[in-house]
Amino acid sequence: MEKILIRGGKPLYGTIEIDGMKNAALPIVFATLLVPGKCHIDNLPAVRDIALSLQILETLGAKVEMTGPNSVEIDATNAIATLPPAELTRKMRASYYLLGAGLGRFGSAIVGYPGGCDFGKRPIDQHVKGFEALGATVDESSDGLLTAKVGEQGLRSGNIFFDVVSVGATLNVMMAAVTAPGQTIIENAAREPHIVDLANFLNTCGARISGAGTDTIKIKGVSELHGCTYAIIPDMIEAGTYMVAVAAASGQVKINNVIPKHLESVTAKLEEMGVSVEELDDAVVVTRTEPLQRCNIKTLPYPGFPTDMQPQFCALFCLAEGVCHLTEGVWDNRFRYVDELRRLGADIEVNGKTATVNGGAPLRGTSVRAVDLRGGAAMVIAGLAAEGETIVEDIHLIARGYDNLEGKLSAVGADICRVVYPDPIIKMN
Ligand code: UD1
């Protein structure tokens, strides 16, 4: 049983390197299934969800070779459309990219219903709507298997107007459409940097996608893709998490390998709270010397404030003097971690989609759980600022999206380590 142990109260000084973006790497790894050739991918984050996605591709017959700690070569030339093991696919949300990639390459795909963090309802109706517009059908069996297939005439191009802005549906339909003859138009598309990254990867493989990063994406179908070499963009959520960690613990840290433009909404909120953020070409320097000011946040699709930074800011709000309001604009239920912050002494009320944080009461270390990936990061941030010892349990959820979180924080002066506790001994009478 591994846990993270933090003794709070240490300011942070030094430099942190940011890895490639998990949520861009996942669709790109699955999109290699579209390519009958070798794809060499660099700046791949060494996180659990990526390891799982590579394992899943291997079960479909792709050759996967790690060529360095953050580089992989994937050759899906001999891959086939078959059911990957449910014990792998249900551990993460992104396994549903097999539907778009499988339809685009084989005209069919089968996958167990995907897992991932529990934020309330996570429907996939917009994915299905997009696939249907391309001439596919999607069925869900009573035992939770999703089967997507096209008829003998194959995929066709189509016009899709999404009813809600969905990152996953935009990525999935882009994958399915790259080889559909004619021009597909996706409107009300998500605009996140990872949408642009997948489009750039696919275009490097010979696809013809334009408009990614705007709400209208046009895809001209090509007959076949080819292999390429591609580097994943830096992870704005990993970077944002360390920016908030510095704001919580105080000190000055340079955060390297970032695209400052992707961090604008996080930077703006930190500045509003009295934290200085200096933007360099591919780094930001975060300095906190003064008490934190109160502010409010509402999460929205990009370029709005990212929902995946909501729990980390909630932890920070606990340290600000005054009342802060945090409104969730993307998910139905993303406040499950709040009970854990309360265990540390936080004064937070949740009413529907808004959390009201009465900041300023001192946090006191105790044992808390990571209830999901970013909720776990919020516990670590709170622990950095709390008095005494904080122990974070269920840290396998943090490992889904952060490589060596405790090592990176310890290198800038945090008193934090991973500890192995013996499993409890069960006495039998
Ligand atoms: C991705 C991210 C997740 C992030 C989210 C929003 C990955 C692996 N996960 O999740 O970390 O929090 O984007 O930035 O990249 N919706 C529907 N119907 C659908 C699809 C979505 O109603 O078919 C709704 C969802 O319930 C949610 C909203 O649309 O309320 C946004 O979801 P979406 O952008 O699809 O999130 P994911 O791609 O699953």
270-290: string of b/e by CB count within 10 Å (b at 16+)?
A: beebbbebeeeeebbbbbbee
Residue nearest to atom 26 of ligand 1 (CA): 122
| Catalytic (active site) residue 228 | no
- Digit-coded pLDDT (tens) for 25-41: 999 999 999 999 999 99
pLDDT computed for residue 409 by the predictor = 98
pLDDT computed for residue 429 by the predictor = 46
- Digit-coded pLDDT (tens) for 140-180: 887 888 999 998 889 999 999 999 999 999 999 999 999 99
| Segment holding 267, helix H or strand E | helix 264-272
Looking at ligand 1, which atom is closest to the CA of residue 171?
Answer: 38
Q: Which CATH code of 3.40.50.1820, 3.40.50.300, 3.40.50.620, 3.65.10.10 fits the domain covering 22-231?
A: 3.65.10.10
Which tokens go with 335? 């406040």
- Could you tell me which residues come within 8 angstroms of residue 165 by beta carbon, excluding any fewer than 6 positions away? 188, 189, 190, 215, 301
- Could you tell me which residues come within 8 angstroms of residue 11 by beta carbon, excluding any fewer than 6 positions away? 249, 250, 251, 413
Å from CA of 250 to ligand 1 middle: 33
Pocket residue to mutate for ligand 1, from 47, 90, 164, 194, most atoms within 8 A of Cβ: 164
pLDDT confidence bin for 295, thresholds 50/70/90: very high
pLDDT confidence bin for 114, thresholds 50/70/90: confident
- Active-site annotation holder among 39, 117, 295, 324: 117
Pocket residue to mutate for ligand 1, from 330, 337, 400, most atoms within 8 A of Cβ: 330
The yes-or-no verdict on residue 305 having pLDDT over 50 is: yes
pLDDT confidence bin for 243, thresholds 50/70/90: very high
pLDDT computed for residue 423 by the predictor = 61
Number of helices and strands (H, E) in the chain?
A: 13, 23
Å from CA of 364 to ligand 1 middle: 34
Mean pLDDT for the stretch of residues 104-110: 95
* Ligand 1 pocket member 122 (CB < 6 A): yes
Q: Where are the domains of the chain?
A: 2-19+234-420, 22-231
The yes-or-no verdict on residue 119 having pLDDT over 70 is: no
Spatial CA neighbour of 366 closest among 386, 342, 390, 347: 390
pLDDT computed for residue 74 by the predictor = 98
pLDDT computed for residue 425 by the predictor = 56
Spatial CA neighbour of 227 closest among 207, 212, 197: 207
Beta carbons of 110 and 117 less than 8 angstroms apart: no
Q: Comparing 290 with 91, which gets the higher pLDDT?
A: 290
Mean pLDDT for the stretch of residues 174-190: 98
Is the fold of 2-19+234-420 the same as that of 22-231?
yes
pLDDT over 70, % of the chain: 97
The yes-or-no verdict on residue 215 having pLDDT over 90 is: yes
DSSP SS3 for 336: coil
* Ligand 1 pocket member 164 (CB < 6 A): yes
pLDDT confidence bin for 424, thresholds 50/70/90: low
Q: How far is CA 244 from CA 21, 327, 328, 335, 344, in A?
A: 18, 18, 18, 18, 18
Mean pLDDT for the stretch of residues 57-86: 95
pLDDT confidence bin for 421, thresholds 50/70/90: confident
- Digit-coded pLDDT (tens) for 88-101: 988 888 989 999 99
Report how far residue 51's alpha carbon sits from residue 308's, in angstroms, rounded to the nearest whole number.
21
DSSP SS3 for 362: coil
* Ligand 1 pocket member 163 (CB < 6 A): no
Q: Indicate left, alpha or beta for 61 from its phi (over 0: left) and psi (-120 to 50: alpha).
A: left
pLDDT computed for residue 416 by the predictor = 98
Q: Name the pTM for this structure.
A: 0.96
Report how far residue 109's alpha carbon sits from residue 55's, in angstroms, rounded to the nearest whole number.
17
Beta carbons of 274 and 281 less than 8 angstroms apart: no
Å from CA of 119 to ligand 1 middle: 10
The yes-or-no verdict on residue 202 having pLDDT over 60 is: yes
Question: In which order are the strands placed within the sheet that holds 71-75?
Answer: 63-68, 71-75, 38-42, 228-231
Å from CA of 419 to ligand 1 middle: 33
Considering the domain 2-19+234-420 in this protein, what is its CATH number?
3.65.10.10
The yes-or-no verdict on residue 212 having pLDDT over 90 is: yes
* Ligand 1 pocket member 166 (CB < 6 A): yes
